[in-house]
Structure 1
Amino acid sequence: MSASAGPPPGRRALHTRACELFGVRYPIVQTGMGWVAGARLTAATSAAGGLGIIASATMTCAELERAIREVKARTDNPFGVNLRADQPDIDDRITLLIREGVRVASFAQAPRRETIARLKDAGVVTMPTVGARRHAEKVAEWGVDAVIAQGAEGGGHTGSVPTSLLLPQVVDAVDIPVLGAGGFTDGRGLVAALAWGADGIAMGTRFLLTRESTVPELIKQIYLSKTVNDTVVTKAIDGYPQRVIRTEVVDELERSSVLTRLPRAVRNALAFRRLTRTSYRDLLREGLAMKRNQDLTWSQLVMAANAPMLIRATLVDGRPEVGILPTGQGIGVIEDLPSVAELIERIMAEAGRVLATLTG
């Protein structure tokens, strides 16, 4: 091959528009998992060449500021912060991201047009997660820079369309970089996502099960013991479809009525308020914003406020008997706890081998 011919096709394919947009080496994103994606995991991902994302929804603004500065102390590489668009202090958080030079702002739900415009004006990449083609079209029209398209195999809140059908639909609908999420764990999955037209993959559960993840070892071993059939999508936690590991706690929630779940939900919602130092006034404002933006009933609203404490019980406190375990269906094919650097290098090496085989 002549010097002017450029790098091999496989190497070119693995350096995508997402790499250019985020300023990273590899098209791999570690998603902003609440209670999991703190400074340590985020910094490890970005240092290894991917895009790490801090989960800020379970942090106060002051805690987020400390996490951002800790990541910056650990690596000079770009990273992101995941935000909830309906938080009362969202404007303060965006000011913080802009001031600290955070590269990417990701959102689990669509941010407002004015939020997108403010971030773009400051040079911050805006990337919401979508679960339907029409949602991708809407946020692309509003000016977002990229989207994560999460299929039904994904963990936490998820839709009903499999990744293999959703991802090509979204790619065809928009002309911005698309990251595939839901069921991705290895290099073969990365190549599959590229074949569907995506610019990379975003993974949550696979990064939860790494050595830098702060999830207690007991909980990690529970995850590793499960098969692809040991998860369930339930509305009993907060009224929205959410994929979790099937446990006695989840079964109990599904058997109970809304009326019997509500008292427990109220207690946990108030506990979360104390933990995040949210005033009753801000709690009410946040609740009204969630109710308006997500069209929730009052009972759904209380359950939504309850969910963070159920997740914290397992992922932070290590108490599976009282909490829930969000997970992607890919849990059934994960068998080890590598370091983040080992995981990313393994994925990229496997993707390179697969591409080399396909291209001869």
Structure 2
Amino acid sequence: MPPGSSGLKADTFIKRECCKHTTLSKKTKKDFHMRNRLCEVLGIQKPIMQGPMSWVSTAPLAAAVCEAGGFGVLCTAAATPDFIEQQVRLMKEKTDRPFAVNMGLHPAFLPEEYFQAVLDILKREKVAAVHLDTLCDATMRLDESFARHFFDQWKEAGIKIIAKVFTVEDALTAQRAGADVIIAKGWEGGGHTTMQTTMVQIPQMADVITVPLVASGGIADGRGMAAALIMGADGIEMGTAFLAAEETDIHPRAKQAVLQAKDFSTVEIGSSCNMPCRQLRNALTDTVEKLEQGLSYEEAGSKVMELTTNSLRLAMKEGEVSQHGAVMAGQIVGMVKSIRPAGEIIDSVLEQCRYLLDTAPAVSLR
């Protein structure tokens, strides 16, 4: 029931109803905790997850997030088992805190032989969780029997399951299949996009799922985190906010492209391939837009795939950000203004969030 209906002041309502699963404590600027059920499930101090980003979310960044009390995620989408094992071992050299390995929950990315090879690595290295991206194909819904086949084996190995979804239906399917955490990603986010905004998704999912819920897409500071908690989330996932982190191992020109971006610098392309993605506008996106506007999706799809193959690597590793490369970023990219340590980014978000929740304006709706 909204504050105006019950006569409660806004700050009372926020603290009593929306953030009842979250406990805030602040000792010093360095020792800032925000404990809730997401932290308990994942074994972390701060309910902030670092989103997986191809060619970005490697061990240096993910480990820095873990060391700062958050939850780091290695992006290993379609990577070879050898590369995954290398990254996992590098993570364990840098941190003894829990982290996840990201995988695409899609038939094209999880053939049985590949799955078993990666599962062996996760079990052998005692990786805490898998972070599953179900957003690989905008036309598909998550199939429960398909999900259970993999979920059951992860759970038997003691591996937590984090499922990223973009519909209430998929959230419920993932929960029934055994997901320990649900991430709802909104249309504002970078990379693979969804059809609804974060503000639309979170309240609807919070009403029906019982496992911890994480808000993703369009969040880069404490204001976004406070809003997510108020809407019913247990934590947040940020990707774009970490693109310019000191520990992010990408080409300097890619970081500069992020720092120079503004609020309207991103564009969504790739619908013709059923894989719409949000990225910084450049010559590549202009070409793809023209193709998708001038041809049928069937005709455009193959051409778009050809143009965009290796575009992420070109931008992130070779610094080709203007013509043929792709810098995936969300709509909040204009809020990323400086290069900072990942830990500083996390603490600034938490401190601002805490301040806002503690000092919510006492506004009565009449």
Same fold (TM over 0.5): yes
Structure 1: distance between partners of 2:257 and 2:209: 39
Task: Work out which of the residue numbers 34, 42, 45 in structure 2 matches 1:25.
Answer: 45
Equivalent residue number for residue 341 of structure 2: 339
Letter in 1 for 2:235: G
1:27–1:50 contact (8 Å) kept in structure 2 = yes
Give RMSD over aligned pairs: 2.6
Structure 1: distance between partners of 2:83 and 2:222: 34
Equivalent residue number for residue 311 of structure 2: 310
Query: Could you give the per-residue CA deviations for residues 189-215 of structure 1, whole angstroms, max 9, x where no partner exists?
Result: 111111111110001111112010011
Deviation of residue 59 (structure 1)? 2.4
Query: Could you give the per-residue CA deviations for residues 249-307 of structure 1, whole angstroms, max 9, x where no partner exists?
Result: 1111222369999xxxxxxxxxxxxxxxxxxxxxxxxxxxxxxxxxx979857855874
2:110 pairs with 1:87:
yes
Structure 1: distance between partners of 2:122 and 2:175: 22
What percentage of aligned pairs have identical amino acids?
30
Structure 1: distance between partners of 2:332 and 2:162: 23
2:233 pairs with 1:198:
yes
Task: Indicate how the Cα distance of structure 1 residues 120 and 303 shifts in structure 2: closer, same or farther if over 3 A, else same.
Answer: farther
Equivalent residue number for residue 70 of structure 2: 50
Task: Indicate how the Cα distance of structure 1 residues 253 and 84 shifts in structure 2: closer, same or farther if over 3 A, else same.
Answer: same
Deviation of residue 159 (structure 1)? 1.2
Structure 2: distance between partners of 1:117 and 1:323: 38
1:42–1:54 contact (8 Å) kept in structure 2 = yes
Equivalent residue number for residue 352 of structure 2: 350
Deviation of residue 56 (structure 1)? 0.8
Equivalent residue number for residue 82 of structure 2: 62
2:272–2:292 contact (8 Å) kept in structure 1 = no
Equivalent residue number for residue 222 of structure 2: 187
| Pairs within 5 Å for 1:1-360 | 10-11=24-25, 14-85=34-105, 86-88=109-111, 89-109=114-134, 112-235=147-270, 238-256=273-291, 300=301, 307=308, 309-320=310-321, 321-358=323-360
Structure 1: distance between partners of 2:341 and 2:258: 17
TM-score (norm 2): 0.81
Query: Could you give the per-residue CA deviations for residues 73-126 of structure 1, whole angstroms, max 9, x where no partner exists?
Result: 111111110012333312211221122111110111156211101111221110
Structure 1: distance between partners of 2:336 and 2:272: 25
Equivalent residue number for residue 11 of structure 2: none
Indicate the larger mover: 243-252 or 174-183. Answer: 243-252
Structure 2: distance between partners of 1:164 and 1:211: 30
Give 3-state SS (helix, strand or coil) of 2:310's partner.
helix
2:55–2:316 contact (8 Å) kept in structure 1 = yes
Deviation of residue 358 (structure 1)? 2.4
Task: Indicate how the Cα distance of structure 1 residues 241 and 247 shifts in structure 2: closer, same or farther if over 3 A, else same.
Answer: same
Q: Which runs of 5+ in 2 are unaligned?
A: 1-21, 27-32, 135-141
Structure 2: distance between partners of 1:66 and 1:137: 34
Task: Indicate how the Cα distance of structure 1 residues 185 and 308 shifts in structure 2: closer, same or farther if over 3 A, else same.
Answer: farther
Give 3-state SS (helix, strand or coil) of 1:57's partner.
coil
Structure 1: distance between partners of 2:303 and 2:115: 21
Task: Indicate how the Cα distance of structure 1 residues 298 and 97 shifts in structure 2: closer, same or farther if over 3 A, else same.
Answer: farther
Structure 1: distance between partners of 2:281 and 2:299: 26
Give 3-state SS (helix, strand or coil) of 1:15's partner.
strand
Deviation of residue 133 (structure 1)? 1.0
Task: Indicate how the Cα distance of structure 1 residues 147 and 225 shifts in structure 2: closer, same or farther if over 3 A, else same.
Answer: same
Indicate the larger mover: 306-315 or 239-248. Answer: 306-315
Query: Could you give the per-residue CA deviations for residues 18-61 of structure 1, whole angstroms, max 9, x where no partner exists?
Result: 10111001000001111111111111111110000001115211
Structure 1: distance between partners of 2:58 and 2:294: 35
1:236–1:253 contact (8 Å) kept in structure 2 = no
Query: Could you give the per-residue CA deviations for residues 147-168 of structure 1, whole angstroms, max 9, x where no partner exists?
Result: 1100110111111211111111
Structure 2: distance between partners of 1:71 and 1:171: 32
Structure 1: distance between partners of 2:292 and 2:203: 39
Equivalent residue number for residue 270 of structure 1: none
Letter in 2 for 1:91: Q
Give 3-state SS (helix, strand or coil) of 2:360's partner.
helix
Letter in 1 for 2:131: S
Letter in 1 for 2:43: G
TM-score (norm 1): 0.82
Structure 1: distance between partners of 2:151 and 2:299: 29
1:236–1:254 contact (8 Å) kept in structure 2 = no
